[in-house]
């Protein structure tokens, strides 16, 4: 039984609603503001140290840093400016293949999953695993949010976070009642 199935108290009900209101991770965020980059670099240094301690390799360091920045910037915005601090993420390798939403902005499955795992280990990210309910035939993607530890360590300015100009525009797909899709 999961939090989605049968909330037992008001706290569980509130969590269930927040998880349901989660939107997909917004992968187009970046900052060039030095004080914010210094804070992101400090977290990156902790990630590097964790990998050294665990005898894990750090390949493609610049890409690992980009994945870390994308996750942290959007989780900070979600926690401070959205109704729900939770974001939906896919941990399905197929969603990171060519011409998919994540891959179009240069996110790769192994790098994303590794950075996410490290952020959870460092207690910077809270994670609620996704699942598939075979009885109701409904799936729920994994949800993540910034932990209190992460939020207390960041002093960001929303005005200094911008859309990454190198990231391609995303398509919006509207489904009609007749199950037809329209791409805008």
76-90 tens-digit pLDDT: 999 999 999 999 998
Among the listed residues 69, 119, 112, 110, the one whose alpha carbon sits nearest the alpha carbon of residue 89? 112
Tell me if 3 is assigned to some domain: no
- Per-residue pLDDT tens over the stretch 109-164: 999 999 999 999 999 999 999 887 788 888 889 999 999 999 999 999 888 888 76
Among the listed residues 8, 25, 9, the one whose alpha carbon sits nearest the alpha carbon of residue 167? 25
pLDDT at 164: 66
Tell me if 1 is assigned to some domain: no
* Contacts with 8 (C-beta within 8 Å, 6 or more apart), sequence order: none
Extended strands (E) in the chain: 23-24, 29-30, 87-89, 125-128, 131-133, 138-140, 142-146, 162-163, 173-175, 181-183
* Token pair of 163 as six digits: 């859309």
Tell me if 156 is assigned to some domain: yes
Question: Which residue range forms the structural domain that includes residue 128?
Answer: 10-183
Tell me if 2 is assigned to some domain: no
Tell me if 55 is assigned to some domain: yes
Tell me if 167 is assigned to some domain: yes
- Per-residue pLDDT tens over the stretch 37-69: 999 999 999 999 999 999 988 889 999 999 999
Q: Is 70 helix (H, G, I), strand (E, B) or coil?
A: helix
Tell me if 122 is assigned to some domain: yes
Give the whole-angstrom CA distance, residue 127 versus residue 184: 32
What is the tally of structural domains in the chain? Answer: 1
Tell me if 4 is assigned to some domain: no
Q: Which residue has the tokens 């804070």?
A: 39
């Amino acid at each position: 039984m999961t939090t989605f199935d049968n909330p037992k108290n008001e706290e569980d009900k509130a969590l269930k609603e927040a998880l349901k209101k989660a939107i997909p991770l917004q992968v187009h965020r970046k900052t060039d503001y030095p004080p914010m980059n210094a804070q992101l670099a400090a977290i990156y240094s902790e990630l590097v140290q964790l990998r050294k301690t665990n005898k894990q390799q750090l390949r493609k360091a610049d890409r690992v840093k980009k994945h870390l920045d994308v996750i942290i910037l959007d989780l900070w915005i979600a926690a401070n400016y959205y109704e729900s601090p939770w974001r939906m993420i896919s941990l399905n390798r197929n969603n990171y293949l060519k011409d998919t939403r994540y891959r179009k902005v240069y996110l790769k499955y192994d790098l994303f999953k590794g950075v996410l795992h490290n952020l959870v280990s460092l207690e910077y990210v809270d994670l609620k695993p996704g699942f598939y309910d075979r009885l109701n035939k409904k799936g729920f993607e994994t949800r993540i949010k910034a932990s209190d530890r992460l939020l207390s360590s960041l002093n960001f300015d929303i005005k200094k976070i911008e859309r990454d100009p190198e990231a391609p525009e995303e398509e919006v797909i509207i489904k009609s009642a007749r199950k037809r899709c329209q791409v805008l």
